Amino acid sequence: MLTLNCDGIPLDPDSLKLEQLAQTVSSHHIIFLQETRTTEYDRLLNLLPGHFLLGYTPIPHHRKGQKGFGVAIIAANMFREYLSLFKVSQQLQVVWARAKHQLFGLDRDMLLCATYLNPQNHNTSVEHVDNFFFVLGEEIFEAYTQTPHILVGGDLNAHIADRSEVSDIHYEFLSRHPHIANNRQSRCPQVNRAGKHLLDLAANFKFVITTGYVNGDSGQRSFTGYNRQFSSRPDHFLCTIDLFSRLSHAEIAYPVCFDHAALSNFFTPTSSSTEHIDKRLFPSVPNFLCPFQSQRSFLRWRPDRATVFAQVFQNNHEKYDQFLQHIQDQEISASYQDLKSWIIQAASDPQVGMTVTQPTAKVLCGTSYRKNAPHGLIMIVQPGKRFSSCC
């Protein structure tokens, strides 16, 4: 399961950001997207033959394309019969979906909630933040009338640091998972008003916020900015006890084209009711364009980070195995996509820092290697075309 603030779905069907978004979505079964800025998802779904749109929030016409709007749930086709839209909130940017109990091996169906809260600033008042959590609490209370199994996820712009939500009503949690009695892991020390509200919400409704409590999640940053200059953790999952007991691990990745990390939680169902389903995911459809045709993101070689780049590149065993498998299967297009994303992932790793964003930069034209680019950027621009088996 993935939550990602994508900061807009690009209009350009050939953009690197759209391609990376499709690749990220295609590797997950259930996806919560925030700040999509649109109600038109076809340009993303066209690259996702194995996924469907479950539900999304409406956006006023005059707000389309603006920051701070748009929430959607996307899911893998193989789970279509197990998932349905429950409701779209009339007051908040919230989408609720129902999952049949067989999907997670539960005794009853569960409800999934994808949500987004704008950060408190001159456009979002303290009263708006307070009202958001009040109304969200009412909707969670309503959800509890349907099922005891609830999961909420999204960019709540809530900073909780290492603070705890555990209260007296979490006695069952503590009996099963005593480690949550200790302070959660955290690498981001900020605490804000939304974070305090989120902790109160979890305490009152017997949720656990998974941040800092799960293997792979040490409370590391999920908001970095496009130039990786920021470090905060506004993105979270929170869930009820039986779901938390099925949570095996988390992963946090930093795609080069996004200012937020992709936060993934992996659940292991205890039931065999879905064993008959082939859960392998379809890859996204490649657009075969050179990644440097994006007008915003570029790779910049840094000789001082060459060794770190090589180590990160070498340690990405998942991409290595995918690449070799596609080579052996003579899947040329997929091999190209593997190698390209492998390089980009290594370059965009926070330890490597070989990405740079130039909002107004112009892409150099031509088909050759250009070394003397502005700001010391290395750009490769070539026509978008398929690679032959000979190549």
Q: Where are the alpha helices (DSSP H) in the chain?
A: 16-26, 42-45, 101-104, 126-144, 171-176, 193-204, 241-245, 306-315, 317-328, 332-348
- Band the pLDDT of 284: cuts 50, 70, 90: confident
- What pLDDT is recorded for position 112? 98
Mean pLDDT confidence for 122-146 = 97
Q: Is pLDDT at 267 greater than 70 in this prediction? A: yes
Q: Which residues pair with 94 in a beta bridge?
A: 115
Residues 123-139 have a mean pLDDT of 97
Q: What are phi and psi of 327, to 5 degrees?
A: -65, -45
Between residues 344 and 66, which one has the greater pLDDT?
66
For helices 332-348 and 306-315, angle between their N-to-C axes, nearest 10 degrees: 130
Per-residue pLDDT tens digits for 83-101: 999 999 999 999 999 999 9
pLDDT of residue 357: 60
How confident is the model at residue 372, as a pLDDT? 43
Domain positions in the chain are 2-267, 291-380
Q: Using 50, 70 and 90 to split pLDDT, how confident is the model at 335?
A: confident
Is the predicted pLDDT of residue 54 greater than 50, yes or no? yes
Q: Are 293 and 384 in contact (CB under 8 A)?
A: yes
The 3-state secondary structure of 307-338, one letter per residue:
HHHHHHHHHCHHHHHHHHHHHHCCCHHHHHHH
Which pLDDT score is estimated for 255? 87
Asked if residue 45 has pLDDT above 90, the reply is yes
Which SS3 state, helix, strand or coil, does residue 198 take? Answer: helix
Confidence band (pLDDT; 50, 70, 90) for 297? low
Which residue, among 175, 177, 159, has the nearest Cα to 233 in the 3D structure? 159
Is 289 a residue whose pLDDT tops 70?
Answer: no
The share of the chain scoring above pLDDT 70, in percent, equals: 86
Q: How many CB atoms lie within 10 A of CB 150?
A: 21
Bridge partners (DSSP) listed for residue 153: 114, 237
**What's the CA gap between 47 and 282, in Å, rounded?**
10
Q: Give 90 or 31, the one with higher predicted confidence.
A: 31
Residue 164 has pLDDT above 90, yes or no: yes
Higher pLDDT, 73 or 292: 73
Lowest mean pLDDT among 213-222, 304-313, 344-353: 344-353
Q: Which residue has the higher pLDDT, 379 or 219?
A: 219
Tokens coding 353:
């820092």
DSSP state of 119: P
Query: What does the DSSP 8-state code read for residue 232?
Result: B
Q: pLDDT by residue (tens digit) across 100-120?
A: 999 999 999 999 999 999 999
Res 333 pLDDT > 90: no
Structure confidence at residue 361 (pLDDT): 37
Asked if residue 171 has pLDDT above 70, the reply is: yes
Q: What is the DSSP annotation of 122-191?
A: SSS-HHHHHHHHHHHHHHHHHHHTT-S-EEEEEE----BTT-----GGGHHHHHH-GGGGSPPP-S---B
Query: What is the pLDDT confidence band of residue 377, given thresholds at 50, 70 and 90?
Result: very low
**pLDDT reported for residue 384:** 43
The CATH homologous superfamily of the domain defined by 2-267: Endonuclease/exonuclease/phosphatase (3.60.10.10)
Tell me how far apart the alpha carbons of residues 111 and 95 are, in angstroms, rounded to a whole number. 10
Residue 17 carries which DSSP code? H
Give the pLDDT confidence of 189-248 residue by residue, as tens digits: 999 999 999 999 999 999 999 999 999 999 999 999 998 899 999 999 999 999 999 999
Q: What is the mean pLDDT of the chain?
A: 86
pLDDT score of 389: 52
